[in-house]
Structure 1
């Protein structure tokens, strides 16, 4: 009996030992003291000012002083903005975006003691014209680096090219950041999934180098970078590409008719470039496309009817190109549209009576084309419409009186057409001046000096 009791006691003790060992092994490790100290020192180098992250507030993004939760004597892995590795407790993620931080980052910053960092996000703070220092290149484990909209300036250093594991880099909207070709040519482009360099001065860099980006690329955003030369057409065909932004590179050329467009594409914005081509009929297969802006580019040909298949499209701007032919009636299927702009092309024929189900529209711009016929009465159903621009066409007939029901309308341009009859009165129409109607000799009534005769 005594032996049996001893055996049972042994089993219980063994079970308790195993349970405690498993429990200890599964518990995340605590933050190493030296990394906790480095973070507290980093905190002390900044002041806290809500205005430093005002851009987040303007965009409705949550912003607050994350470092308020950083307290000495507590586990830094539980602090806001910190992510640790379970097994070691090493700090591998530091997200201080929209954190009200104000103050510069200098070369002796304790930030650079966090050698295990894989993800560093300092976006939307006021780092007071800090440089993108060579010391960032010492954080060799980084896979994600975001320094956007935080008042960085100066020249991006060669040492940044040492970050060979980077798959995501965002240096956008700094304060006069410059990226020279001598640095760019050393950066390994073949593994990037996200590359966002809006407003980084890149005038010395050949656009042809972007052909080295990998098929895993998801986002490429290069707005206002002063790029010059031919952009590789193969980029728009990369299989995983979801977002391509090249706007306001007014000397950037290329022809997007030379490649099939990626079926993954959600957002294309190449406003004010010299990029040319035709919209392919296959664009109707891009079922994920939500934002299409090719305004002030060099596109030509007809607007494909297959655009009507893109039922998720909310932003369609094809203005200031050289499109010809009719406006496809299939665009009436685009029930998510908020902006519809085809102004300053060479479109002809009548405006389709297509607006009955486009209830989300806030802007319609068809000015400066060769459109004929009457103003479609279905526009009267777009109750949230704020902008209606139909000027400089050859429209005829009267102004539909039901347009006065558009109580949100703040901009109206019906000038230089062949419209006749009385101008409707009431609601918003009382706020529109002569400029809304000039160039229509057959119109009469307020605000024009020509009064309407009695019936």
Structure 2
């Protein structure tokens, strides 16, 4: 029996190896008409052969279902086309062979250069599409009415990143007409599209037609406020990105009622009033961006230990009060930016927030010390900016042992005392060190001169003293900015001349040259910085 079983297993594996791959290939082999349509499409498109990684490899001698960017079903029909970032330029019209791919379910033409040409009406022929991405593809003008024929769309992305420019617009049809047959949408991204609608209009258009919507992204769409309560009908909304619109109104408290809310981006919306604290306490919230709303007031509540917050961005607002200790218990926290707010009091410990990469709380009125225990274990921290506050005490040298740290900015505080030197400097990635405008004393510690990756070193306006060898400064190969002004430092500019073989003297040389060389051989310049 054992021999029979082994024999059966051997022949099973043998036939799978011999015929299995061919079987898969046959079931998905590209149909001739599909390959012909794709080759016609390639021929009609202008693209850079040197930049293309997909189109340039399409050829008649291979199965089109194996081409990069092409997905087929088991019948050999093309159902997916990904030509993202293929350096396509120019445009194509509604007669393009693209619109004859009737079984296409997914189409990605993002990040190409269609040179501000109109979106062709032919997209209305692709009625099987569930995914369409034309973001940053270079299209312009009115979005065609024919889009309403793509009734199976689940994801639609027409976003553009041109700041202050609206290449695409929704005028006729307007947003209401545009969405009337797209009830299956779960993701709608129209960033940069000129919609020009009032709060009640755009909110009602979306809430009445897109019952399954999960992601709503309408950055820089020329929308106005106030944000209408009808939006609350979209109970499943998870991502709300409405930045760079002029709402000129308070933030509605009903945002706290979205049970699955993970991202709320209201950056640069001219918001006013007091921000509802209940929204910050939504436990599913990962990203909250309220930056650049200079009239928006608020304060931070205590955070739940199971909060999912990763990104907290409140820069350039009127948020005030103290930073709660519980903010340092947010284990998922990655980015905290509170620049130019009105926060006061001490900085809490972030030692439990092991995922932190960026801390910027500069330009506030924070006080107290920053002991080394606040920063223990922050292995991923890249940027630390505590500048322009009223912090005091000593600067913990343990900061320079954080392995990922690239920027330390502690300027314009009240830090005082001498640095303790350290032997093990792990901050080999550090490119910026700004300790200017403090009350630091003593010699500049030697470990600073071992930070060989520094591009910016600013220690000005302190009370550092002692002498610095010019040769040590020359070791900074990447240094672009050095500021040691307004200290009590001197620079040792000794030039060491290596012994060389004496050349026969040319009698025509100036006899005074010998005296000049003797003087330069051991000359020390003491530059005073203070």
Please indicate, yes or no, whether the TM-score normalized by the shorter chain is above 0.5.
yes
Question: Is the 8 Å Cα contact of residues 263 and 285 (structure 1) preserved in structure 2?
Answer: no
Q: 1:408 — aligned with what?
A: 453
What is the SS of the residue equivalent to 1:316?
strand
User: What are the residue-to-residue correspondences of 1:358-437 with 2, within 5 Å?
Assistant: 358-378=402-422, 380-428=425-473, 436-437=483-484
Aligned partner of 2:125 among 90, 113, 116: 113
Q: 1:48 — aligned with what?
A: 47
Q: Quick check: 1:318 aligned with 2:317?
A: no
Question: Is the 8 Å Cα contact of residues 191 and 214 (structure 1) preserved in structure 2?
Answer: no
**Take 2:43 and 2:281, find their aligned partners in 1: how far apart are those partners?**
47
Instruction: Rate the CA distance shift 1:406–1:359 in 2: closer, same or farther, 3 A.
Output: same
User: What are the residue-to-residue correspondences of 1:7-18 with 2, within 5 Å?
Assistant: none
Aligned partner of 2:490 among 444, 449, 455: 444
Q: 1:12 — aligned with what?
A: none
Q: Where does the alignment leave 5 or more consecutive residues of structure 2 unmatched?
A: 1-22, 80-102, 223-244, 494-524
Q: 1:153 — aligned with what?
A: 167
**1:236-291: per-residue Cα shift (whole Å, max 9, x none)?**
333333233344x2435142524636722223333333344543322233212222
Question: Is the 8 Å Cα contact of residues 104 and 129 (structure 2) preserved in structure 1?
Answer: yes
**Take 1:71 and 1:29, find their aligned partners in 2: how far apart are those partners?**
15
Q: 1:102 — aligned with what?
A: 114
What is the SS of the residue equivalent to 1:402?
helix
Q: CA deviation at 1:374?
A: 2.0
**1:285-304: per-residue Cα shift (whole Å, max 9, x none)?**
32122222222233333211
Question: Is the 8 Å Cα contact of residues 125 and 149 (structure 2) preserved in structure 1?
Answer: no
User: What are the residue-to-residue correspondences of 1:231-246 with 2, within 5 Å?
Assistant: 231-246=275-290
When normalised by structure 1's length, the TM-score is 0.73
Question: Is the 8 Å Cα contact of residues 280 and 301 (structure 2) preserved in structure 1?
Answer: no
Aligned partner of 2:300 among 257, 279, 287: 257
Q: 1:270 — aligned with what?
A: 314
**Take 1:70 and 1:179, find their aligned partners in 2: how far apart are those partners?**
44
Instruction: Name the Cα RMSD after superposition.
Output: 4.3
Question: Is the 8 Å Cα contact of residues 116 and 167 (structure 2) preserved in structure 1?
Answer: no
Aligned partner of 1:142 among 148, 153, 168: 153
What is the SS of the residue equivalent to 2:106?
strand
**Take 2:215 and 2:321, find their aligned partners in 1: how far apart are those partners?**
26
What is the SS of the residue equivalent to 1:91?
coil
Instruction: Rate the CA distance shift 1:219–1:346 in 2: closer, same or farther, 3 A.
Output: same
Instruction: Rate the CA distance shift 1:427–1:357 in 2: closer, same or farther, 3 A.
Output: same
Quick check: 281-290 or 207-216, which moved more?
Answer: 207-216
Aligned partner of 1:344 among 388, 392, 411: 388
Q: 1:17 — aligned with what?
A: none
**Take 1:69 and 1:205, find their aligned partners in 2: how far apart are those partners?**
52
Q: CA deviation at 1:207?
A: 5.4
Q: Where does the alignment leave 5 or more consecutive residues of structure 1 unmatched?
A: 1-22, 52-62
Instruction: Rate the CA distance shift 1:338–1:241 in 2: closer, same or farther, 3 A.
Output: same
Quick check: 309-318 or 114-123, which moved more?
Answer: 114-123
Question: Is the 8 Å Cα contact of residues 346 and 366 (structure 2) preserved in structure 1?
Answer: yes
**1:356-412: per-residue Cα shift (whole Å, max 9, x none)?**
530211110000111112235349542221100001111112111232121111111
Q: CA deviation at 1:352?
A: 1.8
**1:309-341: per-residue Cα shift (whole Å, max 9, x none)?**
111212222212222221142213212111111
Instruction: Rate the CA distance shift 1:386–1:433 in 2: closer, same or farther, 3 A.
Output: closer
Q: CA deviation at 1:218?
A: 2.8
Instruction: Rate the CA distance shift 1:430–1:66 in 2: closer, same or farther, 3 A.
Output: closer
Instruction: Rate the CA distance shift 1:312–1:446 in 2: closer, same or farther, 3 A.
Output: same
What is the SS of the residue equivalent to 1:404?
helix
What is the SS of the residue equivalent to 1:253?
strand
Q: Quick check: 1:170 aligned with 2:193?
A: no
**Take 1:280 and 1:208, find their aligned partners in 2: how far apart are those partners?**
22
**1:39-60: per-residue Cα shift (whole Å, max 9, x none)?**
8998788533589xxxxxxxxx
Q: CA deviation at 1:414?
A: 0.9
What is the SS of the residue equivalent to 1:145?
strand
Q: 2:10 — aligned with what?
A: none
Q: CA deviation at 1:82?
A: 6.0
What is the SS of the residue equivalent to 2:397?
coil
Quick check: 238-247 or 320-329, which moved more?
Answer: 238-247
Q: Quick check: 1:186 aligned with 2:205?
A: yes
Larger Rg: 2
Instruction: Rate the CA distance shift 1:236–1:97 in 2: closer, same or farther, 3 A.
Output: farther
